[in-house]
């Protein structure tokens, strides 16, 4: 990346932080400079300030990593920590009932961000992590968030190339538009082998007074999945959290109201 003249100090600092990714969590000064498109001398000064503040940490190997101070600040995001704390008891209930993966996500621009997950010990492996981003068109939570996104967001996603993860990923805009309409009609989304060929997810919306704030899902092995049976569980969890978000002065219900016959023996 070439250095861009006239960049502010803030833009340079943000550019440095933005080059860290799950695939590249530790970088040298030279790597930071090259990826951010900044002179090495500038990177040296800015990185020293970030280390002093705690946004970056320098390891014994001389590489830099995201520091705990930045994580502490990031955890204060209202769609992060507050929603996670509210949702975690409900997510734990879903896990206890199913022993499957439970995920919580919000939309950020044209992608989704996973803000919490519970991984089942013997559940199907998933490609997600807390803080990780993913496309909206393929996952269960993504389909819910996209179905309830503003029209301009939907049109941007539909107009862009839709990445194919498996042979079953919906990449045709017309089919995806119909899928989103069905999600709004039935109140939940099913993503069947659209991300990996061994997984199926069922997701439901979590509503706040201003609209759909987040989505919650179960991710299970395709060969033992029954979306019709899973949908009421996920929808019940979504309704519990929606009621809690709409009643700010009342404590949220502690448990998902699940019928006894749907609990795992």
Q: What does the pLDDT read at residue 249?
A: 37
Evaluate the CA torsion angle 17, 20, 22, 25 in order and state its sign.
negative
Segment 20-37 mean pLDDT: 88
Q: What does the pLDDT read at residue 242?
A: 93
pLDDT at position 180 over 50? yes
Q: If pLDDT is split at 50, 70 and 90, which confidence band does 2 have? A: very low
Global pTM value: 0.69
Indicate the SS3 state at residue 133: strand
Q: What does the pLDDT read at residue 146?
A: 96
How much is the mean pLDDT over the chain? 85
pLDDT at position 63 over 50? yes
Q: What does the pLDDT read at residue 133?
A: 85
pLDDT at position 247 over 70? no
232 Cα distance to chain centroid: 22
Q: Over the stretch 214-240, which tens digit does the pLDDT of each residue have? A: 999 999 998 888 889 999 999 999 999
Q: Over the stretch 118-168, which tens digit does the pLDDT of each residue have? A: 887 777 767 677 778 899 999 999 999 999 999 999 999 999 999 999 999
pLDDT at position 76 over 80? no
Other Cβ atoms closer than 10 A to 167: 8
Segment 114-118 mean pLDDT: 89
**Residue with more model confidence, 124 or 246:** 246
Q: What is the DSSP letter of 258?
A: -
Query: What is 78-118 written as a DSSP string?
Result: IIIIIHHHHHHHHHHHHHHHH-SEEEEEEEETTEEEEEEEE
- Domains (range + CATH), the chain: 9-73 (1.10.10.10), 78-262 (3.30.450.40)
Segment 163-180 mean pLDDT: 95
Q: What does the pLDDT read at residue 260?
A: 42
pLDDT at position 13 over 70? yes
Q: What percent of the chain has pLDDT over 70?
A: 86
């Amino acid at each position: 990346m070439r250095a861009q003249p006239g960049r502010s100090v803030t833009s340079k600092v943000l550019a440095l932080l933005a080059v860290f990714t799950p695939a590249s969590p530790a970088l040298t000064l030279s790597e930071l400079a090259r990826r951010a498109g900044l002179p090495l001398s500038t990177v040296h000064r800015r990185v020293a300030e970030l280390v002093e503040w705690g946004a970056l940490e320098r390891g014994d190997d001389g590489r830099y990593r995201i520091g705990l101070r930045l994580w502490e600040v990031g955890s204060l995001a209202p769609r992060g920590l507050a929603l996670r704390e509210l949702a975690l008891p409900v997510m734990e209930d879903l896990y206890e009932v199913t022993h499957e993966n439970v995920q919580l996500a919000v939309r950020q621009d044209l992608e989704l961000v996973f803000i919490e997950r519970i991984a089942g010990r013997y559940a199907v492996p998933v490609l997600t992590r807390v803080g990780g981003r993913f496309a909206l068109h393929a996952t269960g939570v993504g389909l819910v968030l996209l179905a309830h996104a503003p029209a301009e967001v939907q049109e941007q996603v539909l107009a862009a190339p839709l990445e194919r993860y498996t042979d079953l990923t919906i990449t045709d805009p017309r089919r995806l538009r119909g899928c989103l309409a069905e999600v709004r009609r039935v109140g939940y989304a099913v993503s069947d082998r659209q991300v990996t060929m061994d997984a199926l997810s069922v997701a439901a919306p979590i509503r706040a007074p201003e609209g759909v704030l987040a989505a919650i899902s179960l991710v299970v092995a395709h060969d033992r999945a029954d979306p019709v049976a899973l949908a009421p569980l996920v929808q019940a969890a979504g309704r519990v959290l929606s009621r809690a978000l709409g009643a700010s002065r009342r404590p949220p219900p502690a448990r998902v109201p699940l019928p006894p016959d749907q609990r795992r023996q």
